[in-house]
A and B are shown apart, each in its own frame.
Chain A
């Protein structure tokens, strides 16, 4: 079974600085999708960025980018120019290419942004 590990329960960053959130996963599959979701205090889960495992190029979405290391099974999220609105829980998630139905989440990292 696939597992997703986020080893940082909490992270803190100064406004305008850069922070990297870690995520590792375990799978025997060669094709899959990886996601980062943001859960602000308003509770809604918001998709931040996604990566297809077959793509070597790291996904980028404005101030958010990932460092996808397939061999190491690592999928970290970098937030550049951090803003107060980035404060939230961030969840890393894995979804099989072969089974769209099941998505596995990490435990989450709570990000605090200091003014």
Chain B
């Protein structure tokens, strides 16, 4: 069964550095998402992306964050200048976008900011 894949599984970065988290959505999916889960807390929506532009973003997704689909397969989340509070699990998800189609999640990337 097709899967959403995320790399790396664990990223350690110094505070203030830029980090790029990578995702390969399921190939025939058209809608892409990023979620964040701070340790011990709930999964939070960050952003959705369709047709090469952001469809919706939450209040968490400030100017430090950006997303890109640089080619036909990858979907990336960039954090420009990381802060300690950016430490979390980041999940990528994709869906076909049909009304009754669920989102399929990747394994997540654990981001640790030192």
Contacts and interface: CB of A to CB of B under 8 A. Distances in A.
Interface of A: 33, 35, 37, 42-47, 50, 52, 91, 93, 97, 99-108
Interface in B71-109: 89, 91, 93, 95, 97, 99-100, 102-108
A107 B42 contact: yes
For chain B, give the interface size range. 20 to 34
Contacts, number: 57
Given A45-B93, A45-B105, 11 more contacts: A33-B100, A44-B108, A45-B43, A52-B100, A91-B42, A99-B56, A100-B97, A101-B50, A105-B43, A107-B41, A108-B42
B41 A43 contact: no
Contacts of B108: 43-45
Interface string B36-78: 0000011111001010000110100000000000000000000
Contacts of B45: 102-105
Contact of A44 (B31, B50, B56, B105): B105
B31 A101 contact: yes
Given A43-B108, A100-B97, A105 B102 contact: no
Contacts of A108: 42-43
A46 B4 CA distance: 11
